[in-house]
Structure 1
Amino acid sequence: MKSFFTYSVFFIFFLSLSQNMSPETLLDKAIAYHDPNGNWKTFNETFTVEMTTPKSTKRTSSISINLPAEYFSVSATKDTVSTTYTLNKGKCTMRYNGKAIKPSAAKQKNMTCDRATLYKDYYSYLYGLPMKLKDTGTNLSNNVEKKSFKDKDYLVLKVTYDEAVGSDVWYFYFNPKTYAMEIYQFFKTDDNGKEKQDSGEYILLSEETLLNGIKIPKIRAWYYNKDDKYLGTDTLVEK
């Protein structure tokens, strides 16, 4: 009886949180948890990520992001092949197995400067969350949702983007006690902007490490929304 009473009190409290808190307030609380000193704007770190996927060998990536210097670099090694993409104030350079490679030769190895930009945007976005949700072109929903995922309750932000930024619909799941970001999920949209429920993926975040004084999820496990099929795991390797 006591446990039921405790759960009921928490549920009522949890429901009132989602009803009374604005999306902007929830985002601010989440950012205060992950980046309490506002360090993201001056982020300057090099870190290593290991990617493991079923039936494939491990890929190890060394990633450098220096936002004030407008510098990004990722060097990935898988089996006996290594590739490096660097953007320095917008100037693109590439290396293959440690040697500089010209764009014409790089294209034959499926390496392009467009891919370099894609990697920069990808890593800056994922490792800059939830702070990146303050970026121009990001649109928060009108209310905070309450959802359960894997038998755990969350406060959820629905996020869409201006057409120039992206067409996917994202959901960010925050711990209702600490406001830590623990899951994110995205869906593709059809020509009318409606979510395609059999599309997209969800990403489970676990553990944390500090980079530049920011609490960064250490482990990201990726799954399809459609059938919960496991895709792979990115693990931030601490030195």
Structure 2
Amino acid sequence: MFRPALRPARRPASRAGSWLWLVLLAAACGPRPPADEDASGSVAEADLTPAQELVARSVTFHDPDGIWGSRSLSMSWVGTDGEGGERVAVELEFGADERDFALSGRYRGSSIAYETTADGWAATVDGVAQADLPDADRERMRLHREDGMFWRSYYGFLAGLPMKISDPGSHLDPDIVETTFMDREVHAVRVTYDPDTGGDTWYFYFDPATAQLLGCRFYHDESANDGEYLTFEGLTGDGGLRLPRLRGWYVNADGRHLGTDEVGTIRVGP
């Protein structure tokens, strides 16, 4: 596990997050089964709704051995903006304990080293400890969000899809929706979130034959067609784990391209 030599940061007062961030706050780094479990810990398959069954099939496709949330892993993550300029280039490390997470690299033109453990979190930006940063820099680097846990929540959710779909606070509509996404016939699952985890509405899109996750879409107000959608292309992984390699970000209302994230090499630890 990456351990930068950081001074513990003072915890800022909690502030209200925006659309995606509050949803991501509920998503730590460990998996959650898509249905109730019996006393032995196994999923009661007969009780699965069609939507839960589809999500379970997708988890089996992407993570057949249950690596996510049970073993440490690391990956590189590079993000560009809509014009192709670098937005973020970082190395991520997820511990087998969901509280252990580390990030190091570049974000918004600055170097950043960040980690969370059971004891809290700490970060440096361009060599300056978080506690000594001006408020404007803490906000620019997202260190003021969710009592400092923003980056763990953000990457824990996005990197962990589809395993994170059924995390606490999520409610899957029981039925599958047959629709199209990016000119492909897909099966979709609609998921709503509790108010204290954002209250947004998400759709996740799967290949009907393999259950591979092909993309997702979220709304703050579905009737207003706000929010964004993500397209997933390709796969990358290690040890049986297969995660989406490319994530394209677009605006629901007009299809405007916001940027692209690429996951590089993934290394699964013991």
TM-score computed with the length of structure 2 as normaliser: 0.72
Work out the CA distance in 1 between the residues paired with 2:119 and 2:207: 37
Of residues 4, 9, 30 in structure 1, which corresponds to 2:58?
30
Residue 63 of structure 1 corresponds to 92
Work out the CA distance in 2 between the residues paired with 1:175 and 1:90: 41
- Residue 122 of structure 2 corresponds to residue 96 of structure 1: no
| CA drift at 1:67 | 3.5
- Residue 130 of structure 2 corresponds to residue 130 of structure 1: no
Residue 232 of structure 2 corresponds to 205
| CA drift at 1:66 | 0.8
| CA drift at 1:108 | 4.5
| CA drift at 1:156 | 0.4
Summarize the Cα distance change of 1:185–1:37 in structure 2 as closer, same or farther, 3 Å threshold.
same
Q: For 1:48-96, what per-residue CA distance to the aligned partner results, in whole angstroms no more than 9, with x for missing partners? A: 1111113463121111111326211122315752012211114111112
Higher alpha-carbon deviation: 101-110 or 121-130: 101-110
Work out the CA distance in 1 between the residues paired with 2:258 and 2:201: 20
Of residues 185, 189, 195 in structure 2, which corresponds to 1:153?
185
2:75/2:263 contact within 8 Å kept: yes
Q: Partner letter of residue 102 of structure 2? A: S
Larger fraction in helix: 1
Q: Once superposed, which parts of structure 1, at least 4 consecutive aligned residues long, lie more than 6 Å away?
A: none
TM-score computed with the length of structure 1 as normaliser: 0.81
SS of match in other structure, 1:120: helix
2:157/2:164 contact within 8 Å kept: yes
Residue 112 of structure 2 corresponds to 83
1:222/1:231 contact within 8 Å kept: yes
Q: Partner letter of residue 62 of structure 1? A: E
| CA drift at 1:142 | 2.2
Work out the CA distance in 1 between the residues paired with 2:67 and 2:189: 23
SS of match in other structure, 2:73: strand
Residue 167 of structure 1 corresponds to 199
SS of match in other structure, 1:227: coil
Higher alpha-carbon deviation: 39-48 or 23-32: 39-48
- Residue 173 of structure 2 corresponds to residue 141 of structure 1: yes
Q: For 1:166-220, what per-residue CA distance to the aligned partner results, in whole angstroms no more than 9, with x for missing partners? A: 211000000001000001111112xxxxx24331111110010114531100000
Larger radius of gyration, structure 1 or 2?
Answer: 1
Higher alpha-carbon deviation: 134-143 or 177-186: 134-143
Work out the CA distance in 1 between the residues paired with 2:59 and 2:189: 13
Count residues in correspondence: 213
Residue 15 of structure 1 corresponds to none
Residue 153 of structure 2 corresponds to 121
**How do 1:177-192 and structure 2 match up within 5 A?**
177-189=209-221
Work out the CA distance in 1 between the residues paired with 2:58 and 2:263: 21
2:52/2:174 contact within 8 Å kept: no
Q: Partner letter of residue 23 of structure 1? A: A
2:58/2:162 contact within 8 Å kept: yes
Work out the CA distance in 2 between the residues paired with 1:27 and 1:129: 10
SS of match in other structure, 1:220: strand
Of residues 76, 87, 95 in structure 2, which corresponds to 1:48?
76
Q: Partner letter of residue 34 of structure 1? A: H
Unaligned runs of 5+ in 2: 1-48
Unaligned runs of 5+ in 1: 1-20, 190-194
